[in-house]
Amino acid sequence: MGLEGGIAIVTGSSQGIGKAIAETLARRGAALVIADINAELALATAEEISLNTGQKTIAVHVDVSNFDSAKIMVEKTLDEFGRLDILVNNAGVTRDNLIMRISEEDWDLVLNTNLKGAFNCSKAAIRPMMKQRYGRIINISSVSGLAGQAGQTNYSASKAGLIGFTKALAREVASRNITVNAVAPGFVPTALTANLPEELKEWMLKVTPLGRMGKPEEIAYAVAFFASDESAYTTGQVLSVDGGMMMM
């Protein structure tokens, strides 16, 4: 499943699942843009991935909730590499609470980062992809977007919105040989899940048929498939990588 010669942006890729995605794409031959709001950590991650894989990797500071920032990210990619083949909309935040306790600021932060962020980055990336008549966009949703999760109305709404966004955009750009798909991870230990209540973690394991948490690289393998030409006839799809949690 080679990606030799491909140019990929992975947002929110300085750590966690995003970092695993970036390193997996690099190991399969893609040059990488580590795009993150934490510029210092992004630079360290880019240097680490370049050292580990031998692939050219650069760091770009981006606030995905701001379209101008997303546009600059894409422009820097084009200036450095001349093209953009793969966009992984991974950047995300959580502000979990019961709805009566969620502030308007926390609602807006989660929706603006997780959902509007994917819109901003995709809008910025679509023009060069359409011009070259090739592109792969992969959105990182969640099982919370498929089933909903108590205490996560903001997060679940943002991730469910990503699924609708994925399907609608896939229809818009298919004629230009651009595919748009989503990966919906189950419970994977990252900085975003570290503060979940223990009782919720125990419940998640009980409802996961494989009986364990996922690994960041297991999410990355699914993204690598959608980024490759092996998925050329697959678009508008949502792949749950969740140990069977959402099995129906």
| Range in 1-10, 14-23, 99-108, 133-142 the model is least confident about | 1-10
Q: Which of 74-83, 146-155, 169-178 has the lowest mean pLDDT?
A: 146-155
Residue 117: HSE in the Cβ half-sphere, 13 Å Cα cutoff = 30
d(C-alpha 26, C-alpha 24), whole Å: 5
pLDDT at 192 over 70: no
Closest CA to 107 of 182, 157, 175: 157
Among the listed residues 134, 155, 221, 233, the single catalytic one is 155
**What is the number of residues in the chain?**
248
Residue bearing the bigger pLDDT, 92 or 190:
92
233 is catalytic: no
Q: Please tell me the distance from the alpha carbon of residue 219 to that of residue 64, in angstroms, as a whole number.
A: 21
Scan for tokens 């008549």, then name that residue: 133
Q: Which pLDDT belongs to residue 246? A: 82
